[in-house]
A and B are shown apart, each in its own frame.
Chain A
């Protein structure tokens, strides 16, 4: 999985005079993730797309199951034969995560949209399912994750959950590394906090 393209589009809107120019900057692109047949993968939507609902973000041609996670536990979205039959209005915005499983062979899901520049991710006390709000790969340290007292759980269908523990702002286990579009659980034993990124467009 990788970010296949990143396009900097700068739209220039000219005003009535040369001194009244307004600039609008958007970074748009797409990211491919493979959703395996009969196995769950823990992924995220790395790009803003409309209202970021399941129906907007995940285009399906066959059968697929998604599970988001929130205060009421896991909530399903189900697609049959290329149509969402439940949970299509659930929001899967950048910074969150969800489980996905295909029922129609291995499927490539293409996330398209705009980079969520300036978006921060809330890390509440307790368990949450999160992701990097920006489509970047790397260690959580490199992605400026605010490490405190927590356990990060990454999921693989082959190996299950892999925990990474941190205490007092120091990783006890190896620093978790995430790919673009990965989701992961955080069991935060400390106070609620915010994961904020600084990101410059040049």
Chain B
């Protein structure tokens, strides 16, 4: 191997290494097989603008799940609206760039969904659901990183989730009052 070939090999190695030092990205969707759906309270796939589906990614530096700083197709992140009709329960949320993870790395994520008619945000909604945490391995190149590694499809590992009705605080208060009254009555 002459000097030129050696130099070329070294450059090739550096290029290969740099390809795994970029922001990480994955395709936020469940439209590919096995098409595990997001289900409503009734057990049917949710669909239409009354619902939103978001993603939270675990920040290794804090241990918290967050959507702060995420990008969707290179622009500001917004949750996805589920499809309707025969495709209810499915969604396509674009390519999500995670600024605090690298290409080639693993993202630990949770998918959240909520009924916007019961609250504008996930935390405010009283009909909502969250998936268990799961890993997306082999992240692709994120927006702005200039890399060429294809983002992995979340569909393959999405475990699904089902919405549930979360009782409002007043419901808990009434229940506690009733329980207290019952205990008082039994004591007498």
Contacts and interface: CB of A to CB of B under 8 A. Distances in A.
Interface of A: 38, 40, 63, 65, 67, 69-76, 78, 80-81, 85-86, 99, 101, 103, 126-127, 129, 151, 153, 155, 161, 163, 165, 167, 172-173, 185, 187
Interface stretch (B3-11, B36-44, B162-170, B180-188): B3-11
Nearest to A167: B8
B25 A73 contact: yes
B150 A40 contact: yes
Contacts of B148: 69, 127, 129, 153, 161, 185, 187
Given A85-B87, A172-B5, A76 B25 contact: no
Report, nearest first, the 6 A-B pairs whose CB atoms are least far apart. Answer: A72-B74, A73-B143, A172-B8, A185-B148, A127-B146, A72-B143
Which one of B27, B86, B92, B142 has the greatest number of beta carbons of chain A within 10 Å? B92
A101 B151 CA distance: 13
A99 B150 contact: yes
B45 interface: no
Interface string B11-41: 1100110000000010101011100000000
Contact of B94 (A38, A75, A126, A129): A75
A38 B33 contact: yes
A129 B146 CA distance: 11
B130 interface: no
9 contacts: A63-B32, A69-B148, A72-B73, A73-B143, A73-B144, A74-B141, A76-B95, A85-B87, A172-B4
Contact of B151 (A74, A78, A129, A172): A74
Nearest to B23: A73
Contacts of B71: 72
B83 interface: yes
A103 B145 contact: no
Contacts of A74: 25, 27, 95, 140-141, 150-151
A165 B33 contact: no
Given A63-B31, A63-B32, A163-B12, A73 B97 contact: yes
Nearest to B145: A73
Interface in B95-141: 95, 97, 140-141
Contact of A80 (B73, B74, B90): B90
